[in-house]
Chains A and B, each alone.
Chain A
Amino acid sequence: MGRFREKLEVGEFVITGEVAPPRGNNCDRMLAEVKAYASVADAVNITDNQGATLHLSALAASRLTLDTGLVEPVFQQTCRDRNRLALESDLLAASTYGLENFLAVTGDNPHAGDHPQAKGVFDIDSTQLIRVACDLNEGHDMNGNPIDGATDFYVGAAAFPEAEPWDIQKRRIAGKIDAGARFFQTQACMDIEVFARRVLEIKDMGAHVIAGVLLLKSERTINFINNRLAGLMVSDSVAREIISAKDPYETSVRIAIEQAKVLFEVADGIHMMPLGDIETGVGILREAGVVSK
């Protein structure tokens, strides 16, 4: 059993990061980022054609990450690019590579990406994909037919604690837990009060919650998030605080530290999204006392 799973299951606090595979076959930058996370992270998510834009396959990148021996990857699959047969077959491949942590997500619509002409597959959705991974763990495919062997995935899903209407979000989260999700990695925290309350609600439902912390950096970053990233919106009050500050970057770091401090108390882990500034992200975790200095 990997350390990441073990820590979450025994109630130890975990840190995860996020790395995008290269847009090409030169993996130097990706591996450097993996290395940068390694000192503090228990696992690093490997995104799957994120933003519906072309990247090296998450399967290959997850294996490369695992092979570094530095940190465990969380292999992500979206439902956008492959049908159920391909998803299942890639999950089997992941298992033979020794990949254990798995995150099932829906995926952005192809129209938003760099291949807007592509057909969005969405043969199954993320809730159904969670169940598929659990089926393989039980030694059968999604139709109940036995496979030769069995996988051993630690299955997670995405959650968006601040999205309204919350009752409908919560229902979806319950569906994912019912399908077999053991942990959630969340969308970035904006309003810490609302966020913390809902993290506790999700934990009460029986899953571990790794809370997203995002470094907002500057007005440009905030505009990018509001206009280009699906779903996420920076709340007006946070945006105003950062934009009107003398040093917006420093202010965003301070906000992230405050969030991390609270989340250290309420969540099971932090998913750090420093948007490329990994050193700063690590510094935030140290300042907040989440990891030792």
Chain B
Amino acid sequence: MIITTPKEFDHILSNLRDVDAESVFLVGCGSCATVAKTGGEPELLAAAAKLQEAGYTVLGHTVGTEITCNVGGTRSTIRKNAEVIREADAVIVFACGSGVQTVAEFVDVPVFPALDSVFLGAIVRQGEFSERCRMCGDCILDKTAGICPLTQCPKGLLNGPCGGMWDGMCEVIPDHECAHVRIQRRLEKQHRLQPISLPPKNYGVSLKPGHVNIRKPRVRKSLSDRSESGEKNTARTQGER
């Protein structure tokens, strides 16, 4: 899931001051931000109280069961609340960056993020999350015993350990075991032969912004092929090789 953390409350206030807002409407997210306890019903109620204390009128809020980054769902949520939102000077969204942008698409007044989207992570236990994947578009977990060096090594090295490793521990986060030591040990345990070194990663596959459409067959042309045939670059799909 997408892990989010709350922005400083003062940061939100300064955004509101910038547009001379007096009244606001709050949007949460029924999925990731609810699990992360950053954009669910309780967090929105708490934020509403703080905003009111700071002198703002909170016209209403919605979390819904929908995920905020669902374009269709968010469109109808906004429509349902259209009248109230029209009265608001600003909308504050308690969701990941994708959710904030989805809301912004359907709202005319300024939309501000209440959260920072920090990583794609695993739920270690309730309220504790850890990053597992950078969504590089070219997964190499098959070669690294199911441990992602791009994410678990702070330097994102494919071949390690670096010169900072000490006693099996990481230079950058000294209380973490070096990702490359973990990878080698697990590969050994599985009696797997590994290449002596991995080649550089192909970052060309993760062209931004990513776009996938499973209803349309994958376009497997390279960018240069496309420009020759006059096709637009937007026809690409993430993950094509």
Residues of chain A having any CB pair with chain B under 8 Å: 79-80, 84, 105-106, 108-109, 111-112, 120, 122-128, 142, 158, 160, 163-165, 168-169, 171-172, 174-176, 178-179, 187, 230-231, 233
- The one of A122, A142, A158, A164 in contact with B163, judged by C-beta atoms closer than 8 angstroms, is A158
- Extra pairs beyond A165-B181, A230-B163, A230-B171 (13, CB < 8 Å): A106-B162, A106-B163, A122-B156, A125-B157, A125-B159, A125-B162, A127-B159, A128-B200, A160-B163, A163-B161, A178-B197, A231-B164, A231-B166
19 contacts between A and B (CB under 8 A): A79-B157, A106-B162, A106-B163, A112-B172, A120-B155, A120-B156, A122-B155, A122-B156, A122-B157, A124-B200, A125-B157, A127-B159, A128-B158, A128-B159, A160-B163, A168-B181, A172-B180, A175-B197, A231-B165
Whether B161 pairs with A168 at a CB distance below 8 angstroms is: yes
| CB 8 Å contact bits of B23-54 with A (1 = contact, 0 = none) | 00000000000000000000000000000000
Query: In the complex, which of the residues B160, B161, B163, B199 has the most CB atoms of chain A within 10 Å of its own CB atom?
Result: B163
CB contacts (< 8 Å) of B167 on chain A: these are 163-164
A124 to B203, CA, bound (A): 11
Residues of chain B having any CB pair with chain A under 8 Å: 154-168, 171-172, 180-181, 184, 196-197, 199-200, 203
Whether B161 pairs with A169 at a CB distance below 8 angstroms is: yes
Whether A230 pairs with B164 at a CB distance below 8 angstroms is: yes
Whether A125 pairs with B158 at a CB distance below 8 angstroms is: yes
Whether A233 pairs with B197 at a CB distance below 8 angstroms is: no
Whether A187 pairs with B197 at a CB distance below 8 angstroms is: no
A120 to B157, CA, bound (A): 11
Whether B196 pairs with A174 at a CB distance below 8 angstroms is: yes
Q: How far is the CB of B198 from chain A (nearest CB, A)?
A: 8
Q: How far is the CB of B60 from chain A (nearest CB, A)?
A: 38
* Contacts A163-B165, A171-B184, A231-B171 given; does A84 touch B200 at CB 8 Å: yes
* Contacts A109-B154, A231-B164 given; does A128 touch B199 at CB 8 Å: yes
Whether A109 pairs with B171 at a CB distance below 8 angstroms is: yes
CB contacts (< 8 Å) of A230 on chain B: these are 163-164, 171
A85 to B180, CA, bound (A): 26
A163 to B199, CA, bound (A): 24
Q: How far is the CB of B10 from chain A (nearest CB, A)?
A: 20
- The one of B156, B159, B164, B203 in contact with A172, judged by C-beta atoms closer than 8 angstroms, is B159
- The one of B161, B166, B200 in contact with A123, judged by C-beta atoms closer than 8 angstroms, is B200
Q: How far is the CB of B171 from chain A (nearest CB, A)?
A: 5
CB contacts (< 8 Å) of A231 on chain B: these are 163-166, 171
Q: How far is the CB of A171 from chain B (nearest CB, A)?
A: 7
